[in-house]
Structure 1
Amino acid sequence: MQQVGNVERRTILKAAGASLAAAGLGATATACEGGSGSGDGTVTIRYSWWGAEDRAERINKTIALFEKKYPKIKVKTDFQQYADFWKKFNTQASGGNPPDVFQNAIGFLRKYDAKNVLLDLGDQVEAGNLSMDGFRAGLEKFGEVDGKLLGVPVGSNSMALVIDKPVWTRAGASPEQGWTWDDFDAAMTRIRDRAGRAGDSGMYGVMYLYDLYLRQNGKAFFTEDGLGFTEADLTRWWTKAEKGVRTGLVADAKKVVQIKPKSAVAGELAAAEFTWDNFVVRYTSEGTSEYGLAPIPTTDGKKTGQYLGSLMLSAAKRTRHPKEVAQFIDFMVHDPEVAKIMGYDRGVPTTQVQYDAYRPTGEVDKSIAAYEESLVKAGVLETITPHPDGADICEAAFLRIAEEMSLGKRSVDEAVEQFFTESKTALTG
C-alpha cells in the first residue's frame, strides 16, 4: 500500500461499499464476453484492479513476467480508483461481462457470490492449475465461503494502532502487547495533558476495529446472515466516542475532515490512529515525524480478536478461460519475482515463498513484517468473521453515520437508530 497505492487500501477500511449502495446486479445476465481467443491458440484474459499509477506500474511488470512464462496467454489490464472500480465492475457484471480476473475484498465475496458472479476456483485446484499450498498463517482459507474458493489472498495485513512515536515518548506513554482499553484511555489522557495533542484521530467509524472489540467480548460485527451485536452495544461504543471528543482525548472531527485525505496523525491533529498495519507507509510519506505500530488494546489483557485481512484475486464465473485465469492467479501468489516487484504494495506477501523472496530493507517495511510476525508469535490471530451479502453497504453506513455523529449532526441515539435501519434494509433486501 506504499505511497499512492496505500491511500486506496485505506479507502477500503473507511469507505468500502459506498459506490454500490444504490446499485444492484440483475439476477440473470447474458453470456459473458470475457477474454478472447485467436487462431494460434493464444487467449486474452481481462484483469482489473483498483489502485493508482504506482501500483499499476508494479502490476504491469509482473504481467510481463507472466506473459513470458505463458506466451499463449495475453493479459489486458484495467485499473481505477477504488470507488470508480466498483461502479464500473457493477455495470460490467450487470451486463454479464465482468473481467476474467479481478482484485477483490472480503466484504464483496458473499455479495457477488449471491449474484452468481464469482467462479469457484476449487475445481482448478483439483485440476492442478492453482495451488493453495504454502500460504502463511491460515490465509489459504481467507477466500472460502460456504465451501467454495471465491478468492485467493495476495497480501496480508492486520489492524494496528499507528502512533507518532516522539509524541508518545514525550507523554511518557508506552503501548505493549496485552495492554487493556483502560491502559489505552490512560495513555490518551497522558498525551492530551503532557503533549498537548489529542490522543486518537477518532476511531469510532472504523468498522474493523469495532469488530475486534466485539470479538474480544464474545460477539462480532457480522454473523453469516446479519449483525452480531445489539443497539445497546453500539450505543455504549458511540457514547464513549462522544465523550472522547468532548474531553479532548479524540481529535476535533471538523478539523480531521478539513485536512482529508491527509490523515489526522500526519496532520498532527492526533498522536494515534487505528488502521491497517501497512498504512504506516502512507503516514511516513505524508508527515514529518517518526511513526510506529502498536498493538490492539484488549478487554482481558489477552484476546485481541485479530485476524489477518487480505486483498485477493477472484475470477468471473462466466469466464471462457478458467484454466488460464487459475494459472495467472497461481503465478501472482507463488512466483518469487512477483514479490520482489510488488513489495508490500498490497500488504505482506501471503505465501511463504514470496514472503521469503522479498525481505524489506527500509525501516517502515521492516516494522510491518515485524508487527505481523509478533501477532503470530503471540498466538492472537483468529479466523476472520464471515461477511454477509450487504456487508459493504453496512460498512459505508457505519462510517458515514459515525462521522455525522462526531460532527454534531446526530445524537448517539439517532445515529444508532439510523445505522440499524439502514443495515436491516441492506441485509434483508
Structure 2
Amino acid sequence: MQAKALTAVTVASFLALAACGGEPGADPATGGQGNVTITYAFWGNNDEAATIKSMIAAFEKANPAVKVEANWIQSDYEQKLQTSIAGGDAPTVAQISNTALPSFASAFIPVEVDHGVYYSAAVAKAGNVGGTDYAVPFVAKSKVMAINKAAFESAGLTVPSGSAPMSTADFVAAATKLTSGSGEKKVYGSAPLWYDGWLVAEGGSYYSADGRTCTMADADGIRAAQVVVGSTKPDGFAPNPADAQGQDMFQWFADGKVAMLPDFGPWNIAKLAALDTSKFLIVPMPGKGEPMEVDSLGISKSAEQAEVSAAKTFATFMSTSPAAQNLLASTTSALGVPVVQGSLESFRSIAPKVNLQAFTDAVANAVTTAYVKDKVKIESTFSTDLNSRTAIGSGTEDPAAVLPELQAQCQQMLDATK
C-alpha cells in the first residue's frame, strides 16, 4: 500500500508540473516548450558522482525531452557555487545540504514540497527556511555506529542492540574495556569521536531550539568536550589527533585495531558489505544520536520558464521516483539513504546481515536542528578556536574554561545576524 501511495503521489506531482502550460501532446516535463537542457551541480567522490550520473541517466530515460548536463564540482563546492551564482552563471539545479541552504536560499525559487511523501519529519523540513520551501529533499545521510561483534564477545561484553542505542556512559565503559596493549600494538575501543556529533549524543546542541541562543557551553556541551578530550589521553580509548592524522579509520576497524567506529556514514556501506559481515554489525549511535545531513535540490532564480518546468520535473523524479531512489546505494557505492518509504526495502537488501535498518531508523528519528543565518561562518570560527585551544585539537586548555568564552563569542556573531 505504501508503494501504491508513493506512486500516486509521484504521478500527481508530475501532473501538477504539467499544468504549467504547453500544447496538447507536448512533453509535460518541459512545460510544452519542446526539448530543454538543464544543468545540475553536485559534489562527491568518484563513486558518489557515478551514483548521481546513474540517477541522471534514469531521469533522461523517463524524460527524453530533457537533457541534464552534469556539473561535478570536486572541491570547494559551496565557494564555487556561490561564485557561479554571483557571476550570473548559476546551474539550473544545485545540490545543497540542509546546513548550507540558509546561505543560498535567496538564489533559489520557492518550490512546492509535499511533506507527506517522506517518512521522516526532519527530511520533509530540510528544504525549508523561514517557513518557505526552497529545495526538494532527495537523500539523507544519517549517522550510525559500526561495531566488531567478535571484539565484544572476546571481552565478555554484551553485543549492543541493533535498535536501542547505548547510553553515552555505557559507550565510554565499553570502549575503555575494549582497549588493550600499548604503542603500535595498541587496540582501541573506539575510533576518534567527532565533537559536533558527540555534543548531540550527550544531549547538547550549538543553539537553542529557536536558533536565537548559543548553548554549546551548557553542562551537556562541557561533558561532551571532556569525554572527547579524555578519550585521547595516554590511558584513553581512542587514538589522539596526531596518531589518527591521515589514517583510514575504516581500515583500522576492518583490521581489528578499533572495536567501534562512531560517526559511520552511509558512504561506508559498500566497504562494510565487502567484509565478513558475520563479524560486524551496525547499531545506533549512542545517546541522542548525531546530526543528520539532508541534501536537497534548489532551482535557480535565473532559470528560464522552460528550464524551471524541466527542473521541477527533475527534482520530483530524484526525490520521489523509485527509479532514482533505488539507485542511492549499492554494494559498490552508497550516496546515502532513500527518503521515501518505497525504496527502503531495496536499500536494506544491499547488506542484509549488518542491520542497515539502523540507518533508516536514524533518518526517521532525527531531530531537526535550528536554522541559523551565517551558520557555517559561526560554527567554523567556533571549531577553529576550540581545536586550537583544547586537546580536541592541538591545544591544552580545559574545555570547561574555554567553552563559556567561545559561547559568548558565538552569541555576539549570532546577534549580529539579526
Map 1:65-144 → 2, pairs under 5 A: 65-81=58-74, 83-113=75-105, 116-122=106-112, 132-138=115-121, 139-144=123-128
2:224 match: 237
Q: Relative to structure 2, which stretch is displaced further, 278-287 or 42-51?
A: 278-287
Letter paired with 1:249: F
Residue of 283, 286, 290 corresponding to 1:297: 286
Letter paired with 2:224: W
Distance 1:262 1:277, change over 3 A: closer
Contact kept in structure 1, 2:197 and 2:291, CA below 8 Å: no
1:333 match: 319
Deviations 1:238-274 (A, max 9, x none): 2332222222222222110142586653575532232
Deviations 1:88-137 (A, max 9, x none): 11211222332111211111111222xx2122112xx5xxxxx5543223
Shift of residue 235, structure 1, vs aligned partner: 3.5
Map 1:108-257 → 2, pairs under 5 A: 108-113=100-105, 116-122=106-112, 132-138=115-121, 139-173=123-157, 174-176=159-161, 177-193=164-180, 197-205=187-195, 207-215=196-204, 221=207, 223-231=209-217, 233=219, 234-246=221-233, 247-257=235-245
1:60 aligned onto 2:42: no
Aligned-partner SS, 1:182: helix
Contact kept in structure 2, 1:101 and 1:316, CA below 8 Å: yes
Letter paired with 1:66: F
2:369 match: 385
Shift of residue 65, structure 1, vs aligned partner: 2.9
Shift of residue 333, structure 1, vs aligned partner: 1.9
Which residues of structure 1 form unaligned runs of 5+? 1-36, 126-130, 299-303
- TM-score for the superposition, normalised by structure 1: 0.73
Between the aligned partners of 1:260 and 1:274, the Cα distance in structure 2 is 14
1:265 aligned onto 2:253: yes
Q: Percent identity?
A: 19
1:7 match: none
Letter paired with 1:43: V
Shift of residue 393, structure 1, vs aligned partner: 3.0
Aligned-partner SS, 1:265: helix
Deviations 1:283-318 (A, max 9, x none): 5389889442222333xxxxx366764222222233
> What number of residue pairs does the alignment pair up?
368
Shift of residue 357, structure 1, vs aligned partner: 5.2
1:12 match: none
- TM-score for the superposition, normalised by structure 2: 0.75
Aligned-partner SS, 1:384: coil
1:324 aligned onto 2:310: yes
Between the aligned partners of 2:289 and 2:54, the Cα distance in structure 1 is 37
Shift of residue 389, structure 1, vs aligned partner: 1.8
Contact kept in structure 2, 1:309 and 1:384, CA below 8 Å: no
Shift of residue 229, structure 1, vs aligned partner: 1.1
Q: Say what the alpha-carbon RMSD is for the aligned residues.
A: 3.5
